[in-house]
Amino acid sequence: MEVPKFLSIFMLIAYLWVISNNNGVEASHKIYPKFQSLAAVKVKQLHRTAFHFQPPKHWINDPNGPMYYKGIYHLFYQYNPKGAVWGNIVWAHSVSKDLINWEALEPALYPSKPFDINGCWSGSATVLPGNKPIILYTGIDYKERQVQNYAVPANPSDPYLRKWIKPNNNPVVFPGPDVNASAFRDPTTAWWSNDGHWRMLVGSRRKHRGIAYLYRSRDFMKWTKAKYPIHSLANTGMWECPDFYPVSISGKNGLDTSFAGGNEKFVLKVSLDLTRYDYYTTGTYNRDKDRYVPDKDSVDGWSGLRYDYGNFYASKTFFDSRKNRRILWGWANESDSTFDDMAKGWAGVQTIPREVWLDGSGKQLLQWPIEELETLRGKNVHISNQELKKGHHVEVKGVTAAQADVEVTFKLPSLDKAEKFDPSWKNLDAEHLCGKIGSKVQGGVGPFGLLTLASKNLEEFTPVFFRIFKDGHKHLVLMCSDASSSTLKTEGLYKPSFAGFVNVDLSDKKLSLRSLIDHSVVESFGAGGKTCITSRVYPTLAVFDDAHLYAFNNGTETVTVEKLNAWSMKKPAKMNS
Ligand SMILES: *[C@@H]1O[C@H](CO)[C@@H](O)[C@H](O)[C@H]1NC(C)=O
Ligand SMILES: *[C@@H]1O[C@H](CO)[C@@H](O)[C@H](O)[C@H]1NC(C)=O
Ligand SMILES: *[C@@H]1O[C@H](CO)[C@@H](O)[C@H](O)[C@H]1NC(C)=O
């Protein structure tokens, strides 16, 4: 094991002690008591991101309570002010006018009262009529119970909402006798119904059943649990960070969480603690029965749709009334070791905020980086009508390949030569299939795509690519973001071949891909945002100016880069400093 010099032998011993004696998991984070308050000695720039949301140092996880208020975007997030591992969690608070440049304020919430003395965990914001923001969050109380609390701004006329008050009538929701007080957290944004009640959800489990409990209140203070959860599913374990919102059935416009036009669809997202991915279904909300029913062909549980097939968890959306859109924030954790995180002095980023809306098919969501990101685009290079024969790659020269935004459209030949989907692969999920037949295994139509964070001689690269199969009369499109060759470093890294299928109509013989490359992040959007994959990778050679970007093809059929645009990305002028 490589030991950074400034870490003492004592710390190494402590580290080895912790990995051999890991005393359990709480709130699903591994606990390293010895390191929780070990401040970063320095902040390593290697692998640090330029345009993803990060504080200047230390550990971050879930995005909390995003909202737009009086011309200002607010993002709160779970943060350890004292170290680069999970612990000492507070609600850090940042504000922005454009979702790109951020200013850090004082933490909004930190443990201080009997109802949250052991933790201020995740939650959401709701803007009440009269433009009054209120936060609901999970407190770990003096008896170690998970309870739901509220907080209000001390001075609502301050658009920055710098100070928050946690009144003494908290908690507003106790886990009842039938609720597991160790598995009861992450209240959603509340929505108002014309029966005069607010409603909100809290994630939970009963034995192996994942549950989203529904609560109702007239005044936001006294909450009553509904007889039935809004939804639950056997054998899915703890449901963390539920999110529930309406989506318009046509067009990209977002809807306020309380919107009730009668014609909208709903999305229920849950973060499954057992797999650490965010799954969603689209469905119907029956307001009379207060139950959510996923559409017949919307698969519930962990073979269903995910927002992102990579490092992406505990996400949350909010309605942006400024631009009438719904925006999704998610946490991308590290794939290196706790020891590396301490050496880096930081761990975790938020993914680029994404606009989400319902696809025209009505069967899935589309996601796309917010348009504001384009303000960071600098130098542009362009390629068009470039043929890529089997085994060939072409370099995208002239942009900072370690810090770039690239959009490409591939034109495909006839799909007749697509390889047959082997029936034995039916038992594999997309990730295992990509692990088995990655970019190095030649196919018919594909693998083709981008080689991101590549070293000059391709000792290291993170390929993001498509592969097309014939399955009877249908075609299957697999999209991979494969970390297995991303670095020469061998120890202590998680290098998964993340992948998902893309439900896309290939009749125009085109497939598009966009990747946001940011030193240790490759965040990709396939087919206009139908399938998204975020990979965390840690190259040793392909860093800073030594990183390269290529388009490649390893299928027998020639594909054409119809058009490719790549931009060097600037750093936001302000990022929480
Ligand atoms: C309650 O939740 C905790 C934490 O998830 C779990 O360890 C425990 O088994 C649960 N108890 C029951 C009865 O399900
Ligand atoms: C974070 O990273 C590790 C690998 O380092 C992974 O196994 C884990 O499931 C990840 N996700 C979350 C949400 O913790
Ligand atoms: C393409 O396939 C060849 C042969 O298997 C392999 O050596 C090469 O690394 C592959 N290219 C990529 C980008 O994976």
Q: Does 160 score more than 70 pLDDT?
A: yes
Rounded to the nearest angstrom, the distance between the alpha carbon of 311 and the centre of ligand 2 is 7
What distance in angstroms lies between residue 552's CA and the mean position of ligand 3's atoms?
A: 9
Mean local confidence (pLDDT), 191-207: 97
Read off the pLDDT of each residue in 409-430 and give the average, rounded to a whole number.
95
Residue 276 Cα, ligand 1 centroid: separation in angstroms? 18
The alpha carbon of 77 and the centre of ligand 1 are apart by a number of angstroms equal to 26
pTM, two decimal places: 0.95
Most ligand 1 atoms within 8 A of CB, residue of 180, 184, 185, 202 to mutate: 180
The closest-lying atom of ligand 2 relative to the alpha carbon of residue 336 is 5
Given a cut of 60, is residue 24 above it in pLDDT? Answer: no
Contact by Cβ (8 Å): 208, 184: no
Query: Quick one: the chain helix, strand, coil %, rounded to 5?
Result: 10, 45, 45
Please write the tens of the pLDDT for every residue from 531-565.
999 999 999 999 999 999 999 999 999 999 999 99
Atom of ligand 2 nearest to the CA of 277: 13
Q: Judge whether 546 counts as a catalytic residue.
A: no
Q: Tell which atom from ligand 3 comes closest to the C-alpha of 485.
A: 14
**What CATH number should be reported for the domain whose range is 9-369?**
2.115.10.20
Whole-number Å distance between alpha carbons of 291 and 294: 10
pLDDT of residue 577: 83
Examine the pLDDT at 293 and tell me if it is beyond 60: yes
For residue 26, what pLDDT is reported?
53
Q: How far is the CA of 2 from the centre of ligand 2 (A)?
A: 21
Decide if 550 contacts 399 (C-beta within 8 A). Answer: no
In this model, does residue 405 exceed pLDDT 60?
yes
Whether the CB-CB separation of 309 and 431 falls below 8 Å is answered with yes
Fold of 375-569: Jelly Rolls (2.60.120)
pLDDT attached to residue 12? 40
Question: What is the overall mean pLDDT for the chain?
Answer: 94
The secondary structure of 489-508 as a DSSP string is: --SS----EEEEEE----TT
Q: How many CB atoms lie within 10 A of CB 435?
A: 18
User: Best substitution site from 140, 182, 202 to test ligand 1's pocket, by max atoms within 8 Å of Cβ?
Assistant: 182
For residue 13, what pLDDT is reported?
40
Ligand nearest to the CA of 178: 1
Q: Ligand 3: residues within 6 Å at CB? A: 391, 439-440, 442, 451, 463, 552, 554
Q: Which residues have CB under 8 Å from 274's CB, separation 6+? A: 236, 237, 238, 302
Ligand nearest the Cα of residue 450 is 3
Task: Give the residue whose CA is nearest to atom 12 of ligand 1.
Answer: 207
Give the ligand 1 atom nearest the CA of 206: 14
- According to DSSP, residue 427 is labeled G
* Residue spans per domain, the chain: 9-369, 375-569
Q: For a ligand 2 pocket test, name from 338, 486, 494 the mutation site with the most ligand atoms within 8 angstroms of its C-beta.
A: 494
pLDDT tens digits for range 200-250 = 999 999 999 999 999 999 999 999 999 999 999 999 999 999 999 999 999
Structure-token pair, residue 233: 């599913």
Kindly report the protein residue whose alpha carbon is nearest to atom 11 of ligand 2: 276
Q: Are 553 and 568 in contact (CB under 8 A)?
A: no
Q: What is the pLDDT of residues 279-288, one digit of tens each?
A: 999 999 999 9
DSSP characters over 320-347: ETTTTEEEEEEEE--SS-HHHHHHHTEE
Q: Which ligand is nearest to the CA of 29?
A: 2
Does residue 380 register a pLDDT over 90? yes
What confidence score (pLDDT) does residue 27 get?
A: 60
Please name which ligand lies nearest the alpha carbon of 277: 2
In 3-149, where does DSSP find H-type helix?
9-20
- Residues having CB within 6 Å of any atom of ligand 2: 276, 313, 333, 335, 494
Of ligand 2's listed atoms, the one at least distance from the Cα of 276 is: 13
